[in-house]
Amino acid sequence: MAHEAVIGLECHIQLNTRSKMFCGCPAEFGAAPNSNVCPVCLGLPGPLPITNRAAVDAAVRLGLALGCEVRGESVFARKHYFYPDMPKNFQITQYDRPLCEGGALPVRIGDTWRSFDLIRVHAEEDTGKSFHPERHGDRQISRVDFNRAGVPLLELVTQPVFRDPAECAAFLIALRRLVRWLGISEGDMEKGHLRCDANVSIRPAGTEAFGTKTELKNLNSIKGVEKGLTAEIARQEGVVKSGGRIEQATLLYDLDHDKLAIMRTKEHAHDYRYFPEPDLPLLRVDEAWRASARERMPELPWVRAERLVSRWGLPAYDAGILCEQRELADYFEALAAHGEPKLASNWLMTEVLRLLKERNWSLADWTAQVPVSRFAAFLKSVASKELPGPLAKQVVVWLADEPGDVPELLERHGSKVQSSAEDLMPLVRAAIDENPGPVSQYLAGKTATLGFLVGQVMKKSGGQAVPQTVKDMLEAELSRRAPAR
């Protein structure tokens, strides 16, 4: 009998505020251990928490962006459990009256948008860091650092709306994009800015009732989420197929060894003893606050994608790609304003994004070299055909590396004269005639020898020709000759 998986995600988003959630310590990373702490976040006897307005504002903006209902009055609560990285042995979080409820995140899968429903988004404080036991003289010890304790977190919980790991990965990518788009978090999973736990169960395909769920913790990369969930679903199917029952459990996924480890089963279920934090007043977010948050809200990615289609006539696919980064969408629209939107989209999605990927550049690195006006000029010369395709690809690389507008670049590389086929053709033909060996090897399918022939032509042109152009012309000429043999 075929099974389908039912998955819900619980994501923690670390905010990029200056100070911590409930005290005035730096929320930044990389300081010496236990040096970003004060009586409040170190859990000393006596101090009291004070809520960081900026962290609440970030929660409000995310909540509004997701279409949540943002409560005028929500409540901070204490969640109790003993763990060495918990300074107070309780966490200040939200429980039965969270700041944001409902809402959904639109996610582009292929070129269709899907919307995944949420249960809640609330604000809370992060824990410190405890390290794996290590040898210390004649015994084992663990180290604890409280710098991270009290750093602001948003917890986002989805409905059990996912049916396969790929959807979960797409959701997380979209969530990461959104928090960056809003500027509330760096959203880097590897750095722990975005963390994810998942609740997983399976049920006979087509049935409604939920199966017993397990909790998969610390899925801290997109890959980890996909592979971890795949492994757990397989495990559960295995248990069921062999006639067993799924036990409620908490599991850890080890990405390096693609292994699942059962950490805790229901017997040790926790009793968190939530109750309203008596040291903090009700959290009040009035309409004025919500209104100002709406005003400060950028056009959201999925809205913008639609507008790129309607305003600039792009295919939905292009719009989706260009809205992966707010900066990319901005850059595109600036270019589109100079005319040729589709051309701009094509060159950004292919050559420019490829170059960024190859060089591991951010879009900022690119725009520093190639401001809008410069790339717009390039697109014009492409549109006016004065820059043939192959040569244009070469020019994109030059734009990234050198100053000067298109004519200057061509000049510098001496490509002006020989950018036309007429000038180069004799050299190309000569190279072919003089090297029958490599030519026949090429025609026999050993295409690597093309590089040799390109070299020959370049030599003849005294290094003046454009390699990309030469390559294209050689290919054309050789294929023309092929049937002659």
Partner 1 sequence: MTITRDEVKKIAELARLEIPEARIERMAGELSAVLDFAGALQRLDLEGCEPSVFAPADAPLREDALDDRRLSQSAALAAAPEAEQGFFLVPPIVENLAP
Partner 2 sequence: MSASELWRLSARALAERVRGGKVTPAAAVESGWEGPGAAWEADVRAVAHADTAARARGAEAVRSGPLQGVPVLVKDNLCTTDYLTTCASKILAGYQPPYDATVIRRLRAAGAVVTGKGNMDEFAMGSSTEYSCYGPTRNPYDLARVPGGSSGGPAAAVAYGLCPVGLGSDTGGSVRQPAAFCGVFGLKPTYGRLSRYGLVAFGSSLDQVGIFARHAGDVADTYAALAGHDRFDATTRGTPAPDVSRWDAGVQGMTFGWPANLWKEGVDAAVVEALDEAAAALERAGARRVAIEFLPGEFSVATYYLVATAEASSNLARFDGVRYGFRHEDSPDVRALYTRTRSEGFGPEVQRRILLGTYALSAGYYDAYYLTAQRARTRIRREYEAAFARCDFMMLPASPTLAFKLGEKTENPLAMYLSDIFTIGANLAGIPGLTVPMGLAKANGGPALPRAVQLLGPDDAEPRLLAAGRALEARGEVARIGREHETEFAWPTRR
Applying CB under 5 A, among 3, 10, 38, 237 the residue interacting with Zn ion is 38
Nearest distance from C-beta of residue 55 to Mg ion, angstroms: 14
Should residue 1 be labelled a site residue for partner 1 when binding is judged by CB under 8 A?
A: no
Residue 14: phi, psi to the nearest 5? -85, 125
Residue 160 interacting partner from partner 2, partner 1, Zn ion, none (CB closer than 5 to 8 Å by kind)? none
Q: Find out whether 90 and 77 touch, Cβ atoms under 8 Å.
A: no
**For Mg ion, which residue of 57, 126, 155, 197 counts as binding (CB under 5 A)?**
155
Give the Cα separation of 122 and 408 in Å (integer). Answer: 56
String marking each residue 41-80 x if it binds partner 2 according to CB under 8 A: -xxxxxxxxxx--------------------------x-x
- The answer to the question of residue 232 lying near Mg ion (CB under 5 A) is no
Q: Is 199 near partner 1 (CB under 8 A)?
A: no
Is 354 a binding residue for partner 1 by CB under 8 A? The answer is: no
The option from Zn ion, Mg ion, partner 2, none interacting with 25 (CB < 5 to 8 A, set by class) reads Zn ion
Q: Please give the DSSP secondary-structure letter assigned to residue 266.
A: G
d(CA 197, CA 199): 7
Q: Which of residues 434-453 bind partner 1 (CB under 8 A)?
A: none
What's the one-letter identity of residue 281? Answer: P
Query: Count of residues binding partner 1 (CB under 8 A)?
Result: 62
CB of 346 to Zn ion, least distance (A): 51
Which H/E stretch holds residue 200?
Answer: strand 194-204
Determine the interface stretch with partner 2 among 56-64, 83-91, 181-189, 323-331 (rule: CB under 8 A).
Answer: 83-91
Choice between 14 and 469, CB closer to partner 1: 14
| Stretch 47-76: interaction string toward Zn ion, x if CB under 5 A | ------------------------------
Q: Residues 14, 74, 94, 127: which binds partner 1 (CB under 8 A)?
A: 127
Contact pattern for partner 1 over residues 263 through 302, marking x by CB under 8 A? xx-----xxxx--x-xxxxx-x------------------
Q: Which of 54, 240, 249, 356 binds partner 1 (CB under 8 A)?
A: 54
The region that residue 114 occupies, defined by phi over 0 for left and psi between -120 and 50 for alpha, beta otherwise, is beta
Considering only the stretches 21-29, 66-74, 252-260, 472-480, report the one whose residues sit in contact with Zn ion under the rule CB under 5 A. 21-29
* Spatial separation of the C-alpha atoms in residues 38 and 46, rounded to whole Å: 12
17 interacts with partner 1 by CB under 8 A: yes
Quick one: which segment of 20-28, 59-67, 237-245, 326-334 binds partner 1 (CB under 8 A)? 20-28
Report the C-alpha gap between 350 and 309 in whole angstroms. Answer: 18
Q: What angle do CA 103, 104, 108 make, to 5 degrees?
A: 160
Under rule CB under 8 A, which residues in 349-408 are in contact with partner 2? none
Q: Using CB under 5 A, count the residues that bind Mg ion.
A: 1
Helix (H, G, I), strand (E, B) or coil at 46: coil
Residues 94, 372: Cα–Cα separation, whole Å: 45
Taking CB under 5 A as the rule, does residue 167 contact Mg ion? Answer: no
10 Å Cβ neighbour count for 241? 10
d(CA 282, CA 288) in angstroms, rounded, equals 17
* Closest distance of CB 195 from Mg ion, Å: 9
Amino acid letter for position 207 = T
Question: Does 417 sit near partner 1 (CB under 8 A)?
Answer: no
User: Which amino acid makes up residue 188?
Assistant: D
| Torsion sign (Cα): 223, 225, 228, 231 | negative
The verdict on 125 binding Mg ion (CB under 5 A) reads no
275 binds partner 2 (CB under 8 A): yes
What residues contact 18, with CB distance under 8 A and at least 6 apart? Answer: 26, 27, 28, 54
Distances (CA, A) of 136 to 80, 90, 139, 160, 338: 30, 29, 5, 44, 66
Among 28, 109, 131, 142, binds partner 2 (CB under 8 A): 142
Which of 225, 296, 265, 301 lies closest to 11 in space, CA to CA?
Answer: 225
**Applying CB under 5 A, which residues contact Zn ion?**
23, 25, 38, 40-41
**Applying CB under 8 A, which residues contact partner 2?**
39, 42-51, 78, 80, 82, 84, 87-90, 142, 144, 271, 273-275, 278-281
